[in-house]
Chains A and B, each alone.
Chain A
Amino acid sequence: MKEEFNIISNLIEENTRVLDVGCGNGDLMKFLQENKTKDIRGLEISKEKVQNCLSKGLTVIEGNAESDLKQFPKSSFDYVILSQTLQAFLNPELVINELLKVGKKVIVTIPNFGYWRVRLQLLFKGTMPVTENLPHEWYNTPNLHMCTIKDFYNFCSSKNIKIFKSIALKKSRISEINKSNLNYKNLDSHLGIFLIES
């Protein structure tokens, strides 16, 4: 978690306006507030988590990214963050489009379904993968649309979404993703972090 927060924080310029979509209990918001910018908002679907955030004095709105991002004007945030939530949406493509409208830049992090540990579970055990990052069983997972680093990379190029920066994370090892090492990073990283723009 800490590494992911650091990477996200390093992608953000100081004193900018940030929206964290699916902000959970506000840990990332708090981290960014202490390190980067005071001007940060959150959107979260769980009442309990929204209440936790508000209790800490964080500005969070209870709402659903699929329907409630529309209320923010175009380009009203310098950065919109979607941390490990894309896979939980009914329609991830729609959400990405909404994010790109609301934010001048968008940071998306995805738990990589192409990670070799995940692949091995399906290959050898023959069961749906359960990992530290993806702890749910197939029958209770909130994750509807799992994807790999390569899937997301290809999605961006096919939709003409500019990738400013793409970073792979394995444990605490950070590396850049590019066209030539894509297949390797897709196999050897548990998390992908993308800075994109429409």
Chain B
Amino acid sequence: MNKNIDTKKIIISNPLKLDCGKEINNFPIAYETYGKLNSEKSNAILVFHALTGDQYVSGKNPITNKDGWWSYVVGENKPIDTNKFFVICANVMGGCMGSYGPSTINESTGKQIGTDFPIITINDMVNAQYELIKYLEIEKLFAVVGGSMGGMQVLQFVANFPDKAKLAIPIACTSSHSAQNIAFNELGRQAIMADSKWENGFYSNYKLNPDKGLAVARMAAHITYLSEKGLQEKFGRKLQDRDSLRYGFEADFQIESYLRYQGSVFVDRFDANSYLYITRAMDYFDLSKQYKGNLSDAFKKTKTKFFVISFTSDWLYPTSENREIVIALNSVGADVGFVEIESDKGHDSFLLDVPSFLKTLGDYINSTYKIINERRI
């Protein structure tokens, strides 16, 4: 949580007008890169992370000491092979891994910005990351890729910059947050704000942390990332380190213990205010509304090739919502492929070892890279 993280960072001096109306400048965007940019600068892939992700896509995450969040997908000899591609990932604006967010220190007060941080949107996040691409002097990305909120950023990126990526791969996402999505996010926010240690968002001034609220938020959200079948198969009614029920409120069941653990490790690496701001940005995301109710207009000018992927057991961003993106793209004659991958692992499938997903994604990226390079588009 911005504990003096030694991370790559640029300070963006160009003023950026946020959707909320506020203008910001001289703000940090933290990022990480993997692999090497080739001399033609034609092998760059921008990866967008999801709600609780960060710039550490692959290798060891220096903060958590665990594998990067997309280690199954990005790395040497992985589907997005860093021997071949130059992979860039930035911590989103609003995040807590070095980019401009509520835990950034306000230099004039020496305190964290807290809830004085402006409300940000997916559009703002994408515009900030575009500054990073300019800073890296990449004229055209080979691909923009991301799952969940990362997929929303993919869609927004292509809508904002129709000629800046040859290929776009939005995975397990939506073009507009549904009532159910907003409902679960609101539940998480209320859990944080109900924690007496939240202090209206200025907890760091009192050396407090609303960790109980944040843990509950994470536990609730975590359920939405899994499938009923997956939960039942993994946990069922199995008991945790005991042979019989204890007639109390301890974690009798393995699923309870698992969720408590997920909550507790999350609070060590994530800032409660970031959770509020980023979930809000997701809730505000409605790409079709940005284009007066016509989603296809978002892609009217694009020459980008699209590959949309959904998962059978994902009920958070179900196939039907991913299909709407495909339909909008088809209606403007965009080049779009689509597949729904069979998986019991729920929304989290895009982060996990799902062989048919990893194979299809890797083969598609590599064949398309070859085809596009041969054609020299």
Contacts and interface: CB of A to CB of B under 8 A. Distances in A.
B330 A71 contact: yes
Interface residues of A, number: 20
Interface in B316-337: 326-327, 330-331, 333, 335-337
Interface residues of B, number: 25
B262 interface: no
A105 B338 CA distance: 25
Contact of A55 (B330, B331, B364, B375): B364
Nearest to A61: B338
Task: Give the interface SS of chain A, mostly helix, strand, loop or mixed.
Answer: mixed
A59 B339 contact: no
Contact of B339 (A54, A57, A72, A76): A54
A71 B331 contact: yes
A62 B340 contact: yes
A48 to B, nearest CB: 9
B326 A56 contact: no
A59 B333 CA distance: 12
Interface in B83-138: none
A56 B337 contact: no
A57 B360 contact: no
A96 interface: no
A41 B363 contact: no
Contact of A54 (B307, B326, B370): B307
Contacts of A58: 337
A57 B326 contact: no
A51 B360 contact: yes
B228 interface: no
Given A47-B340, A61-B330, 8 more contacts: A51-B339, A51-B359, A51-B360, A55-B359, A55-B367, A56-B367, A57-B371, A61-B326
Q: Which of A47, A53, A61, A76 has the most CB of B within 10 A?
A: A61
Contacts of B327: 71
Interface string A11-31: 000000000000000000000
B41 interface: no
B342 interface: yes
B305 interface: yes
Nearest to B357: A51
A72 B371 CA distance: 25
A79 B257 CA distance: 58
A41 B306 CA distance: 12
B29 to A, nearest CB: 33
Nearest to A57: B367
Contacts of A60: 337-339
A55 B370 CA distance: 12
A38 B371 CA distance: 10
A196 interface: no
Q: Quick one: which of B307, B330, B335, B375 has the most chain A CB within 10 A?
A: B330
Interface string A62-93: 11000000011100100000000000000000
B331 A54 contact: no
Given A51-B356, A51-B360, A54-B364, A73 B331 contact: yes
Nearest to B368: A57
A191 interface: no
Interface-centre pick from A47, A50, A54, A56 (highest chain B CB count, 10 A): A54
Nearest to B360: A51
Nearest to B312: A47
